[in-house]
Structure 1
Amino acid sequence: MRIAAIVSVAVAAAALAWAADVQRVERGMLVTENVPETPPALKDTLLQYQNVRGASFADWTPDGKSILIATRFADTAQLHRVDMPLGLRRQLTFFPEPVGSGTYRPDNGPRTILYGKDRGGDENFQLYLMDEREGASTMFTDGKSRNAAGTFSDDGSLIAWSSVAKDSQKYKILVANGRAPKEPRVVLDEEGAWFPRGFSPDNTKLLVGKSVSVNESYLYLIDLKTGTRTQVNPSPKQISYGNVEFAADGQSLYVVSDEDSEFSRLVRVNLKDNSKTALSGGIDWDVDGFDITLDRKTIAYVTNEAGVSRVYMIDAASGAKLPAPELPTAVFSGAGFSPDGTKLALSLTNAQTSGDVWVWDLKARKLTRWTESEVGGIDPSTFVQPTLVSWPTFDQAGGKPRTITGFQYLPPGPGPHPVLITIHGGPEAQSQPGFSSNTQMLVKKLGMAVILPNVRGSTGYGKTFVNLDNGRLREDSVKDIGALLDWIATQPSLDKKRVVVSGGSYGGYMSYAVMTTYNDRLAAGISVVGISNFVTFLNNTSGYRKDLRRVEYGDERDPEMAKFLQTISPLTNAGKITKPMFIVQGLNDPRVPYTEAEQMLKAIRANGQEVWFMMAKDEGHGFAKKSNQNAQQEATVLFLQKVIGK
């Protein structure tokens, strides 16, 4: 059924509310302004889409017979164990906060799972060890700092993790007994975003990484006996490293690196002389990641080819290609070999698969589906497949107009259809053709075309492209959306008069910026946890994030850069917005503080313009709890229904 009849009464009520003084309403954990009540009939219509679930691979059990997955049956994602293909999803964690990943301690003792959990979306993660048989968990971190990257040694006897205080830029890396990590010792304590990357096979060294930006990172080896730190592959060149693993003898590393390449490649680095051997040469796309068998003999790596994932398998020593699974067009979010190296688990999602785990048997060369997640009773074959679209933008590359690409989900029928432009966050990220129940709902129930653009600054298109929006080039990415609006105007199936822009995090900033720049060409905007002022954002974001973000956006401590950032900030230009806005925020957001939303709300309203507002007191950087996600979706449908006139 269409939603138009359902929402008409609610839209009329919203118009009346707007005419009067807007009141702030609190219901449970939700704080709203100008958001009408959701009609019961609309709630019923959305139920199917709100009850779509997916599953993602987390780990194999130590005996290799079962897999650990994350999926949701109640309000949040939790860890479950699956013992056979399409078997029972046995829930292991039961928390009000999400637990989205975990790993087994790799030994033959009692099954123990390492996982992390925050509170209310504050991302102040604490690490826990859970006895799988008893279901009891023990927190082994300090309860105050932000802890991440928990890593076991191959035999499970050691564990390492990073720790940083919320308002500090100084990271620690700690190492402890993997079976009883009660008395950790600090092996590194200094400024920078430092994380453990893995123990050497003999447990004498710890590989650590320092991240400066998406384009710059460093690797070091710490001798766990002497504390000596040695840089891997020292170079004057700026290099970005992805995931990394030791070779069997500990004398070389397998690592994803963009050294001397436009794209990230899989290479082997000899630790004695830093010589390199390319293992994924000839592929002009990024290697997103890889896994290696415990015996270090076989590697599976995943490439990102125009947003679509592809799996390759090679012999680790020679680099020779091995048989790989033939998979449908999809996006892979995780992969892992079984302990004996005979099976490879893959998390797979596409437009018609909400997210499931498949297993490739290397000997039988057989692919088996292990989970089949429910999609609210909807026939998956009815979900709309996206098409890759492109349009010329304002500048040139190689003497030709630069092309920007994106994925378009188009309703049936000739149109012209209203359009929702959804811009990804990051900005060092990429929109890929994975599954979104919300996108499918908008296409089917509202008849909207949905376009997911990958503007300059997106990953997946080479390191030159990802740098095209840095610092003073920030507004060039906004111009890419202006070029998209030009392209929309030429498409008979799209209605250029009913275009809404939306986005989350950096995409939320983009939504604001597009609204201030192209207000007369848009019907409305939606900003979720978006930056409204770069200077206040950089001043107020958590301390451990400041330097990472300054590399991308510019250093607000420089008076000239601060002036530039103020000039281009949406808050400075809020007076240009004369179309409705919907602002969504989590109160506990450590990345984009809630004050970014509050100040933009105040500025737009001071100009006498219409703005809807929703904030969850138990969420952070986006809504993770199903009840809050449902409320956001319902309000978004009401907002879109009003602004596109359905």
Structure 2
Amino acid sequence: MINTLLDLCNWAVFDVDSAGRILAGYDESGSLQLVELAPDGSRAQLTALPSRCSGRYVPGSSPRQVIIQHDAGGNELMQLSMITIEDGRAPYGLDEVTPLVHDSRYMHVLQDVTATSVIYSTNRRNNVDMDVIVRDVATGAETVLYDQGGYIGATTVSHDQRSVAVTALSLQPASTIVFTAGTRPGPVTDPDERAAHHGVAWSAADDALIMSSNHGREFAAITRVSLDGASWQTLLAADDHELVAEVSPDASAMVVGHLRNGIEELAVHEIDGTLRVEVVLPQDGVGSVVWAPDSSRFALLVSTPTDPGSIYSVDATTGAVTTVVDGREQLPAGVVLSTPTVHRVPTPDGEEIPCFVYRPGDDADPDLAGASVLHIHGGPEGQATRTFNVIVQALAGAGITVLVPNVRGSAGYGKRWISLDDVDKRLDSVADLAALHDWMPEIGLDPDRSSLWGGSYGGYMVLAGVTMQPELWAAGVDIVGMSSLVTFLENTSAYRRAYREREYGRLETDRDFLVKASPITYLDQLRAPLFVIHGANDPRVPLSEAEQIVAALADRGIRHELKVYADEGHGLAKRANRKDAYPAAIAFLTEILSRPAAGA
């Protein structure tokens, strides 16, 4: 089943033009490439680059032009190029795109596109700080809007195209800051406040910003904030869950998402928060919204546990939903996918861990009955949602029950929960793995036949679990995980270090704790077999993190397998590599977990 699922194609939605055409990403060729979808669902592939890419239309251009963001082998050193769409033309290769911003030593991140300009952030000044640049597409002239340091997350151009609102990472854990640059520069939010602000947009008159924010509250609400940050008006809020919003280009409306138990319920609201219309979809899942330039409609990519990703066009006035791509049509006949149940798992210190449980089908391998895998998300300030995950479904299809938790430190469950693993609380998050293990018998699982699977921070959690709780876990699959928080911080890309230290601790002041929280410190306790996957070009978690844990396993004679991919970065972006790594990792686990429980 795993190879069947890995053959499924993934979609992304990047932009919509004035005629309703959707600029999408599609990985049928093996990596995510640009595809244009006509309103009737017909498609034309635009790029055939060596690595995955994304893009945006140049508004109003004729013939149509697209700005492309692409890297080399997953190294995240983004370069910007341009293509002109010619109907019937073969996809553009790397040597056929027009270079726009190219310097392979640095990253250039596409932030926004207007009819005349490209706005991007870049670390080329000192390889660390991200500056915000406006480039005139016709002349190549560049204007620096911001160069005062920090890691830029997003920028949004004002309607008069004279200012930008910038969202940057804060040095406070789980926080961002917002400021304006251009003709109206200045801070909007307090850099010392522990608060996160996302989805920033300009009001219609460019006199305020609209955003999702947990400023002064537990759960993120939709707020209107004056440019000087003095006035905060709540437009829409809930007492028990978080809200996100995507504001229309003319700032007359917004699509609001209510995040509850790993799914997103959508509705269109007027810009003052008044409900306009609910958006009713075929299945519950999580959506990604891109508005059309005239604000009449929006494209919506929705993923659910049993839908790899469908694309809809939604009328912003009536809420009418038109299917452009039905992701379920590519599911082969006879493939039955698992729908999760929702749980709250108690911990010894009185917390409750949100957790989704995926059960195998009735025809599952009886030798794997009772076996389980804990699938841990990355981040750490990320979250697991009820969306399609090929690994989760493949494991369930093989006969293994999969638990997908949002351990403390996860996003989506309020400000308090996301802060419960900061710095010296890191090991409280690791302790949640043990609480989940203790809970397994309550849902009929054999605790002696449970293993861990995770990528990035989830990979760290795998390594922490098998080294710090060696008696609990039968095996682990670590994908681009950190084996030492000390060497990870020493060797990660310079532009990321300060913002990782805000979560894990600082090398100068917290080294002793970083050593204590590092899996490699506890290698003398490790006895579980490990399967390790890493990309050679990973700029976030260097390959050395995998190499040092594998060397230690070899020295101790512990069973292990290592797969390193020369054309990958932080994770596996190419289908050929996923089809090589994931079936082998699942076979590794099924062999171990199908053994009888100890003492049986």
TM-score, length basis structure 1: 0.86
Contact 1:56–1:333 (CA under 8 A) maintained in structure 2: no
Instruction: Tell me which of 503, 518, 540 is aligned to 1:552.
Output: 503
Partner of 1:139: helix, strand, or coil? strand
Matches within 5 A, 1:168-187: 168-177=127-136, 179-180=137-138, 182-187=140-145
Aligned partner letter, 2:409: G
Partner of 1:474: helix, strand, or coil? helix
Contact 1:422–1:451 (CA under 8 A) maintained in structure 2: yes
Match of 2:404 in 1: 452
Aligned partner letter, 1:232: V
Offset of residue 355 of structure 1: 0.5
Match of 1:526 in 2: 477
Can you give the 5+ residue segments of structure 1 that lack an aligned partner in the other structure?
A: 1-44, 396-400
Separation of aligned partners in 2, 1:567 and 1:530: 17
Instruction: Tell me which of 585, 588, 597 is aligned to 1:636.
Output: 585
Change beyond 3 A, Cα 1:523–1:391: same
Change beyond 3 A, Cα 1:425–1:57: same
Offset of residue 360 of structure 1: 1.6
Instruction: Tell me which of 460, 466, 471 is aligned to 2:423.
Output: 471
**Once the two structures are superposed, what CA deviation does each residue of 1:372-404 show, in whole Å capped at 9, x if it has no partner?**
236654248821101112211121xxxxx2111
Change beyond 3 A, Cα 1:391–1:293: closer
Contact 2:276–2:317 (CA under 8 A) maintained in structure 1: no
Instruction: Tell me which of 77, 82, 89 is aligned to 2:37.
Output: 82
Partner of 1:627: helix, strand, or coil? helix
Contact 1:64–1:340 (CA under 8 A) maintained in structure 2: no
Change beyond 3 A, Cα 1:236–1:47: closer
Matches within 5 A, 1:269-284: 269-271=225-227, 274-284=230-240
Residue 52 of structure 2 corresponds to residue 98 of structure 1: yes
Separation of aligned partners in 1, 2:448 and 2:248: 54
Aligned partner letter, 1:353: D
Separation of aligned partners in 2, 1:364 and 1:223: 37
Can you give the 5+ residue segments of structure 2 that lack an aligned partner in the other structure?
A: 596-600
Residue 243 of structure 2 corresponds to residue 287 of structure 1: yes
Match of 1:15 in 2: none
Separation of aligned partners in 1, 2:259 and 2:521: 38
Please report the RMSD computed on the Cα atoms of aligned residues, expressed in angstroms: 2.1
Match of 2:598 in 1: none
Separation of aligned partners in 2, 1:264 and 1:380: 41
Match of 1:305 in 2: 260
Contact 1:123–1:146 (CA under 8 A) maintained in structure 2: yes
Match of 1:504 in 2: 455
Separation of aligned partners in 2, 1:236 and 1:586: 36
Partner of 2:219: helix, strand, or coil? coil
Instruction: Tell me which of 109, 131, 138 is aligned to 1:148.
Output: 109
Partner of 2:278: helix, strand, or coil? coil
Match of 1:42 in 2: none
Runs of 4+ in 1 over 6 A off after TM superposition: none
Separation of aligned partners in 2, 1:257 and 1:505: 26
Residue 65 of structure 2 corresponds to residue 65 of structure 1: no
Change beyond 3 A, Cα 1:196–1:624: closer
Aligned partner letter, 2:436: L
Partner of 1:515: helix, strand, or coil? helix
Matches within 5 A, 1:474-623: 474-492=426-444, 494-558=445-509, 561-623=510-572
Residue 361 of structure 2 corresponds to residue 407 of structure 1: no
Offset of residue 233 of structure 1: 4.3
Match of 2:375 in 1: 422
Aligned partner letter, 1:382: V
Residue 83 of structure 2 corresponds to residue 130 of structure 1: yes
Separation of aligned partners in 2, 1:165 and 1:616: 27
Aligned partner letter, 2:174: N
Aligned partner letter, 2:479: V
Separation of aligned partners in 2, 1:379 and 1:196: 42
**Once the two structures are superposed, what CA deviation does each residue of 1:125-177 show, in whole Å capped at 9, x if it has no partner?**
11122212275522222322111143124xx2232111014983222211111
Offset of residue 209 of structure 1: 2.7
Instruction: Tell me which of 384, 388, 395 is aligned to 1:431.
Output: 384
Aligned partner letter, 2:23: L
Instruction: Tell me which of 191, 197, 207 is aligned to 1:241.
Output: 197
**Once the two structures are superposed, what CA deviation does each residue of 1:235-280 show, in whole Å capped at 9, x if it has no partner?**
7633321111111111111111111111111111133673122111
Separation of aligned partners in 1, 2:49 and 2:242: 36
Separation of aligned partners in 2, 1:80 and 1:112: 13
Aligned partner letter, 1:575: D
TM-score, length basis structure 2: 0.92
Aligned partner letter, 1:252: A
Number of residue equivalences: 582
Separation of aligned partners in 2, 1:64 and 1:96: 30
Match of 2:288 in 1: 334
Change beyond 3 A, Cα 1:500–1:327: same
Separation of aligned partners in 2, 1:108 and 1:568: 53
**Once the two structures are superposed, what CA deviation does each residue of 1:415-471 show, in whole Å capped at 9, x if it has no partner?**
842101110010101111101233222212x21001111100000111111111111
Partner of 1:490: helix, strand, or coil? helix
**Once the two structures are superposed, what CA deviation does each residue of 1:306-359 show, in whole Å capped at 9, x if it has no partner?**
21111121111x321111211244333410222222222111011111111112
Structure 1 vs Structure 2: percent identity of aligned residues?
A: 28
Contact 1:161–1:196 (CA under 8 A) maintained in structure 2: no
Contact 1:54–1:374 (CA under 8 A) maintained in structure 2: no
Separation of aligned partners in 1, 2:329 and 2:548: 38
